[in-house]
Amino acid sequence: METWRRLADGGLHWEALRARARILDGIRRFFRGRRFLEVDTPAAQGYPNIDPNVFPIRVEDPSGNASRLFLHTSPELAMKKLLAAGSGDIFFLGKVYRDREGSPLHAPEFTMLEWYRVGGGTGEVMRDVEELLVTLIREATGRETLSRGGRDIPLSTPWPRWELDDAFRELLGAGMTDEAGLREALSRKGSRPGRDESWEDIFFRALLDGIEPAAAARGKCFLTGYPAALGAMARRRTGRPDVAERFEGFVGGVELVNGYEELTDAGEQEERLALLAERHRRRTGQELPVDPGFLEALRRGLPPCAGAALGVDRLVMLLLGNDDIADGMYR
């Protein structure tokens, strides 16, 4: 239902929109207070982000100068070009677009917060998440506790870090890249994988059915150390090339943020993006081009940095105690 009608019919309260505005103001104060520069990247791009699980929306270029444009699914490529040009620490707060989305936690158009710390690692970025949430919950409620699913989740203490491979071994008895072991573990639990299912399919099924509910039980949690095969733009862990320096943050069972240390090697990035584009083609039937300007920026030199993307509509939902992101959105 359109927002104006929901407001008129009482399905959406003005106070929810006012609270959302205060939260957006709080996000900007948080990052500006830490000397981050806010950047506003173009929504329509000639080259999309490539992810087998994300579907970009294609649009027509009204100027007729380009054969195709894509609404950005993330500002990542544009922001890394700015980082390579010497921007320093930056953040983006704005709309992004993804096709085939729609649920209480998904929408085709949603608000994303994305930020990058030059010289930082995942530890610093995870601390940003912790400090941002406790700052916003204090401003919104005067407390440091978030209520979700009938329980109070304190946000004032550091979040537990749970290495993903450890979680797989503890809960499923198999490592996260052990396809045969995961097939056997899922079969024991009554969820027998099909023969045509790939390791990636099995991994995500195990993650959604076994690991994420356990992370939810912890109230708040960072899962760390994802398979490198699922982090094509993340730096491989030193001494563990099969693991990426990547994390995801969960609050009350909601996946809220995804972050990693950035891959800065242009040659490796080009190879990994080519493999990712091929996986996307096999999985979706879509052929997506790799952005040559992004690769050129990497060749010029992307500084060591780490970044994260956070779903703002989910954050608003959590802070307001709602169950659907639509309850705090104008759409």
Contact call for residues 173 and 179 (beta carbons, < 8 A): no
- Report pLDDT digits (tens) over 36-91: 999 999 998 888 887 767 777 888 766 665 567 889 999 999 999 999 999 999 99
Residues 6+ apart with CB under 8 A from 270: 290, 295
Residue 74 included in any domain:
yes
Q: Specify the number of domains making up the chain.
A: 1
Model pTM above 0.85 = yes
H or E element: which one contains 328?
none
Residue 100 included in any domain:
yes
What burial letters (b/e) apply to 173-186, b meaning 16+ CB within 10 Å? ebbbbbbebbbbbb
Residues 6+ apart with CB under 8 A from 121: 245, 261, 306
Residue 207 included in any domain:
no
Tokens 């639509």, residue? 326
Residue 307 included in any domain:
yes
Show the domain range for 148: 3-160+218-328
300: CATH: 3.30.930.10
- Report pLDDT digits (tens) over 3-27: 545 555 555 577 788 888 999 999 9
Cα separation, 330 vs 317, whole angstroms = 13
For residue 91, CA distances in Å to 11, 79, 88, 209 come to 33, 8, 10, 33
Residue 306 included in any domain:
yes
Query: Once rounded to an integer, what is the mean pLDDT over residues 164-180?
Result: 95
Residue 193 included in any domain:
no
Residue 253 included in any domain:
yes
Share of the chain above pLDDT 90, in %: 60
What burial letters (b/e) apply to 257-270, b meaning 16+ CB within 10 Å? bbbbbbbbebeebb
Share of the chain above pLDDT 70, in %: 89
Residue 210 included in any domain:
no
- Report pLDDT digits (tens) over 284-316: 777 778 899 999 999 999 999 999 999 999 999
In terms of phi and psi (left: phi > 0; alpha: psi -120 to 50; beta: otherwise), the region of 313 is alpha
Contact call for residues 312 and 330 (beta carbons, < 8 A): no
